[in-house]
Every structure is written in C-alpha cells, then in structure tokens.
Structure 1
C-alpha cells in the first residue's frame, strides 16, 4: 500500500499491481462518440495490460464492459474476463452505432450499478468509469441512481469527450463521486485514471474517518492510508487502540482535521461532562526523545510542530486533553503515565491502516468493541 510518507501521513499507493477493484467500463458508442471510440478502445486495451486482471488472487482486479446509445448493452460482466488480454480484445471489438445518435446515460448507469454493486463484504472495491460524448436523457435522477452504490463504498469516475456540451457536463457532474473524479479526454487521461483508481482502492470502514488533505498544487483532495476513530477506554497507551495504534498529530492541519472530523469538541456529551483525556501516539522513544509512531510501527521524530499545554512534561506518554473543562473545544497535549495508573485518561484517538489488497478489512462490518 505505502507509496510515500510525508509530514501529513502515508499516501495511498498508485502501484497498479496492488489494485483490488471491480471496474466497470461504461462506454458510449452512439454516433456522437465518432472517432473517439476507436481512440478510447485502443488506449484502454493497451493500458489494461498494465493491470493485474483476473478472477482470483489477492492483488487482482476484475473488469466488465457496458456500451450504450439508445439502449445499454453488457459486452462482458465481472466474471467474463480471465486476463487483461481478454478484456483488451473485447474492447478492440467495439464499434460505433452509426445510425444511433441517442445516449441514455441514466439507463446505462443503472445497469452498471446493478452489475457492479458489492455482492458481499469480501468483494473487491467497486468502481464505474463513464466515458461519454453526449447525453440525450434526463439528468435529474443520475445522482439518485448512484446514491446507494456510493454508500456501499462504490465510486464513479467520469471522462468527458465533449467539454463544451453543458448538458453533458451537468450530467457527469451529477454522476461523479467527487469533483476530483471528473476528467476530460486529454493527454493526462491515463495518469488521472490511475490516480483515481489509487484513491478508490484505499478506503476506511464506515465507522472510521479517512485522512484527506487538499493539495494546492493539483487542486484536488488526496486520500491517505490512515483511518481514525475515538475510543472510550482506560487502558494503557500501548493497549488502548489494539489492534490499531494511537494517532499522530504531526502537523497542525492534521490535528485540526482529526479533531474536527471526529467531533472531539462534543465528547463531553458521551463522557457526561468529564473533560476528555485521549491518548495520542506521542511518547518518549528509545533515546528518551519525544517521537510519534508511524503506520508500520516505526518511530518518527517529533518535528517542529507542537501543541503542549503548560505542564512539566514529566510523563512518558502524551494525550490530547481538554485543558479547560468549561471550554469543550479546547485540546492541547499533556503528559501522563503510559499505564494510566492515575486513572486520568478516559479515551484514545485511534488509527488503523486503510483497506486495500495488502490490508483486507470488512468495510461495512460492526464497530469493534475492544
């Protein structure tokens, strides 16, 4: 999974042979697609050979193909292709329906959702990629067609072959899972699709929050391979989050993201007006310096960002604590005994590794009780 680690955390991997997806290629083949269809199929046929396409194996993806004009047609379902070469051959056999200038995206999308939606918690992560040059159907129900699909951890990526077509743009905007998953047909298309697959391939269970950062250089959100939840516990720092680990607050932006998205300012409701003292991964390491735990258990230096409360720093483990019990939004770092022998720690901010082909987890399972 690990692509790179930066000051924010561990990024989701874009290594194509680590994808674990059920990919449905929803391809318009109306007369409006014209010569773009041949261009598209040649490109996809070549690019699919770089993916591990198979019906079996832990590091493989499956592919289905649907074409649509006035009516959608299943060229091959998720069980049809045993290899990338078989899927590529099917793509190269597609042709434009020259006498059909209609394109019913809604009907095609409904078929794709039915074909791709998860059948069980053990299935690969589902994704639909829409390649469109026009839309002659209604757009007001496109969002609702994919709503349940996306709530079941599915994602929709769109590729626009007619950017000047406002009706099509509105349709694809209603369809894509997020703005970052909308692309135009250009020289960066394959690179963008691989990036989108890397984001789709890396997800957190429903009861955890995935770390996301807005990248100003690319103007899009980037997902990280870290998932968060808070736990009410009086266990020691090393045991509180097992089998996960206490979260790190390496940067101010990361700390703010976790506090906001875990709604820590309202923990007083759960803790019955008791100020929250939650373990984080900051601790004194083997050299007696303050360090964080990384996703793989290694130690990371404290760095330049700190948020210490004015205390003596006598303990060996740190927690984020409400330093003013009357201000429920106030959290700063304080130290404590790692074993919680004083009983002052009543919770932990916990992190786990996101789900993908290298780290399987049940996305819609029950919340762990320990």
Structure 2
C-alpha cells in the first residue's frame, strides 16, 4: 500500500499584507566544487556548497493529505475575511483533486476554546471553490472565546488522518493567533504525537497589530517550517513541498541547522548493526553506504546514527578501485570526489579500498582497510520521497 502523507498547517491569523522575509531557492542536487591540490599531492578540504541533495520542490506536483487547522476566536473573528482569503491564496499553489498521482486532498478543521470541528473533509469533493465556501462560513458556526485550544485542533487532525489514510503523504498546517496550554491540553505534546507518526507540521503565525508575537506557536512546527502571516505565497509553496520530503519508515532524514533555520535534505539513513566485511556490505534496493563529505554530515551521523553501534566503528561509502585510483564517495545520484575530508588518520595502504569511521577518544576518525579483513556495522543511505518522487514508505518508487 502506498503511504499517504498528511500535512497539518498551522495558520496564524493576520491582516497584514505579505512581505518577503525569506526567499527559498530550489536546489535539486549537488553543487560543483573547486579542486585545490596542496604541495604533498593531496586535495585540500573543499566542500560542496550544500550538505546534500535537496528534495524536489514543485508545489503543483505535491501529493499530500493536508489538514488545515484554523483558530476560531474573538481575535480571528474581526479578521476572518483576510484570514480565509490568505489561506485560499496559499492553497492555490497546489493541485487539489480527489484522484491523480500528483494531487492534494484538503481537510479544513476549525477549533475554539471548547472543541474542534471538521468543516471540510478529505472525502468531500476536492476543489478550491468548495473549500472557499467552507472557510467563509466556518466562523459563523463556531462558539468563540478570547483564545482557542490548539491541542483540540491537532487531536482532531490526527483522527482525520488516521481514519482516511491513502497513498498520499499526510501533513498539517496550523493557522493560529493565540496559544493556550492551560488545563489538560498541551499543544506541544499534541504536535509531538503527530511528528512521531511521521506527520510534518507547518505553522503560520499571525502577527497582531500591536506587534506582539507568539513564539510558542512557531515551536510547534517541524524544523524549518515555521512561517508568519507576512511570508509571501511562494514561501508557503516551498514549505508544502517540504512536507512531501519524507524518508521511508524507520529511516532518519538528514536535517542541518537549528529549529528556526533547519534545512531538510533528501538523504535518509539506516544503521545495520550486524558485523559485515566491507566488501560484502549490501544496502537495500541498490542504495549506498552513508557519505560524510562535510562536517555537518559527519556531525549529524555522530549525533543521530552512531548511538546503536557496538565496537566503535562503522563502514561508510568511501571507496577506490585500487591503490593507484582516487578515493570517491558513492551516492545514488552521482559519485563525489573525496576532498580530504575527513582526513585519513594514517595514509592508506596500497591494498586498502574501503573507508570506515572509528571512535578515537570520543571523536570519529577516518581509517581504511582492504574490505576482507575486519567486519563492522554499517550505515546505509537512500533517497526520500518528494514532490517529484512518489514512493511508498518502503522507499519503492511508483511514479
């Protein structure tokens, strides 16, 4: 069965016109590097511009089940026309339809201080005009308070996603103006439940006219997916495209940076703890061993993937054909020239053809061997799904 990804968008209400805050440029692969050779014949440390290949990001080709969770309170009431037209502007970036490979289904969920309501379901006829009508009328059917419970909106979004799963990737967009964690409803816990189910969250925060921001709302977003109501439509399109960028079940996605400025890449990693000679390592579906050609990639593997490895060493995708050939990183896109990072602790012997990382005094250092002498665990690397690559959660491509 194909996995349907559900996106939940958190929209923070805003009347302000959108002005550009951050521009997201599409980048579809590895950037070229300049090769610099030192006097001893070894290349100096020159890194690719990016830490990895970006996910394809074409909003019109997204294939999502997108739950749009919208606050209904006295704060949003006076701005409702601006809010729902703002949401419609965002949704116009998608191909909304019931059927088709690169299409998105939308569910609209409103929440107040008492409960949450599905005002438009994934099973309703999918088109922008019907969504327009549902949004326009949503505020009049809701009991309003001074604040609203995001927790209730998230919980209902999760129920809607679980109940109507299909091949699309699920996601949530939250549009909110206030943050209320009083009582037994904690928005942060509810957001974590969604993320544990591999549902990414985009938050759109409303900047009130008095300039008071609500940073707790942005903290609910998946890394790098916190927007504000001042962001232009193209930024929303970029964020939605990121929701389709997800790894197969059990694999860990490469994310570089802090929560606010995180960059998600299309590389996914999985640790195999069995002891295998490097010459016989085999990653599923012709994928490759992990590549660590930048400091950020090495640091990510150190923090996220090496904890389960016993013996303090694991094989990586650095190879050469013989002692007279150059080293290179094997990837599922293209091979990358080894640029002396990380540096070998000792010069490789003529018979060495495989690289591995060894824990030395708390640091991972690069060594080499012939691939037939010492066995060790290994980390595999594969490609994530994205807007151009429709795949199931086992990583099999279908379209």
TM-score, structure 2 normalization: 0.73
Judging changes above 3 Å, is the alpha-carbon distance between structure 1 residues 233 and 198 closer, same or farther for their aligned structure 2 residues?
farther
Q: 1:116 aligns with which of 155, 161, 164?
A: 161
Give the Cα–Cα distance (whole angstroms) in 2 for the partners of residues 40 and 136 of structure 1.
20
Work out whether 1:72 is the aligned partner of 2:113: no
Q: CA deviation at 1:283?
A: 2.9
Judging changes above 3 Å, is the alpha-carbon distance between structure 1 residues 78 and 277 closer, same or farther for their aligned structure 2 residues?
closer
Judging changes above 3 Å, is the alpha-carbon distance between structure 1 residues 44 and 311 closer, same or farther for their aligned structure 2 residues?
same
Total equivalences in the alignment: 346
SS at match of 1:362: coil
Judging changes above 3 Å, is the alpha-carbon distance between structure 1 residues 277 and 221 closer, same or farther for their aligned structure 2 residues?
closer
The corresponding residue for 2:256 is 213
SS at match of 1:11: coil
Q: CA deviation at 1:230?
A: 2.6
Map 1:115-154; keep pairs closer than 5 Å: 115-117=160-162, 123-134=167-178, 138=182, 141-154=186-199
Q: CA deviation at 1:172?
A: 2.3
Q: CA deviation at 1:194?
A: 2.7
Q: CA deviation at 1:330?
A: 4.2
SS at match of 1:91: helix
8 A Cα contact 2:64 2:170, kept in partner: yes
Map 1:193-232; keep pairs closer than 5 Å: 193-214=236-257, 220-231=261-272, 232=274
Map 1:343-358; keep pairs closer than 5 Å: 343-356=373-386, 358=389
Residues 142-151 or 160-169, more deviating: 160-169
Give the Cα–Cα distance (whole angstroms) in 1 for the partners of residues 111 and 359 of structure 2.
60
Give the Cα–Cα distance (whole angstroms) in 1 for the partners of residues 97 and 80 of structure 2.
25
Give the Cα–Cα distance (whole angstroms) in 1 for the partners of residues 112 and 153 of structure 2.
8
Judging changes above 3 Å, is the alpha-carbon distance between structure 1 residues 316 and 53 closer, same or farther for their aligned structure 2 residues?
farther
Give the Cα–Cα distance (whole angstroms) in 2 for the partners of residues 100 and 219 of structure 1.
31
Give a deviation string over 1:36-76, Cα, whole Å, max 9, x none.
32122223323323212222222222101122345433221
The corresponding residue for 1:291 is 328
Q: CA deviation at 1:208?
A: 2.3
Judging changes above 3 Å, is the alpha-carbon distance between structure 1 residues 224 and 164 closer, same or farther for their aligned structure 2 residues?
same
8 A Cα contact 1:68 1:104, kept in partner: yes
Q: CA deviation at 1:153?
A: 0.9
Give the Cα–Cα distance (whole angstroms) in 2 for the partners of residues 136 and 254 of structure 1.
37
Judging changes above 3 Å, is the alpha-carbon distance between structure 1 residues 240 and 233 closer, same or farther for their aligned structure 2 residues?
farther
Give the Cα–Cα distance (whole angstroms) in 2 for the partners of residues 170 and 110 of structure 1.
21
SS at match of 2:391: coil
Q: CA deviation at 1:162?
A: 4.2
SS at match of 2:271: strand
8 A Cα contact 2:112 2:148, kept in partner: yes
Q: Quick one: higher RCO (CA 8 Å, sep 6+), 1 or 2?
A: 2
Give a deviation string over 1:92-146, Cα, whole Å, max 9, x none.
55555798344432333332222234755x5433222221233567365222333
Gaps spanning 5+ residues in structure 1: where?
Answer: 365-370
Judging changes above 3 Å, is the alpha-carbon distance between structure 1 residues 312 and 126 closer, same or farther for their aligned structure 2 residues?
closer
TM-score, structure 1 normalization: 0.78
Judging changes above 3 Å, is the alpha-carbon distance between structure 1 residues 323 and 159 closer, same or farther for their aligned structure 2 residues?
closer
Judging changes above 3 Å, is the alpha-carbon distance between structure 1 residues 35 and 163 closer, same or farther for their aligned structure 2 residues?
closer
Judging changes above 3 Å, is the alpha-carbon distance between structure 1 residues 256 and 168 closer, same or farther for their aligned structure 2 residues?
closer
Judging changes above 3 Å, is the alpha-carbon distance between structure 1 residues 159 and 56 closer, same or farther for their aligned structure 2 residues?
same
Gaps spanning 5+ residues in structure 2: where?
Answer: 1-25, 32-47
Map 1:1-40; keep pairs closer than 5 Å: 3-6=28-31, 7=48, 8-40=51-83
Judging changes above 3 Å, is the alpha-carbon distance between structure 1 residues 117 and 281 closer, same or farther for their aligned structure 2 residues?
farther
8 A Cα contact 2:309 2:377, kept in partner: no
Judging changes above 3 Å, is the alpha-carbon distance between structure 1 residues 280 and 293 closer, same or farther for their aligned structure 2 residues?
closer
Give the Cα–Cα distance (whole angstroms) in 2 for the partners of residues 47 and 323 of structure 1.
48
The corresponding residue for 2:356 is 320
Give the Cα–Cα distance (whole angstroms) in 1 for the partners of residues 260 and 217 of structure 2.
19
Give the Cα–Cα distance (whole angstroms) in 2 for the partners of residues 151 and 219 of structure 1.
19
CA RMSD, 1 decimal: 3.6
Give the Cα–Cα distance (whole angstroms) in 1 for the partners of residues 208 and 394 of structure 2.
35
Give a deviation string over 1:287-318, Cα, whole Å, max 9, x none.
9432222332x222223534213133424632
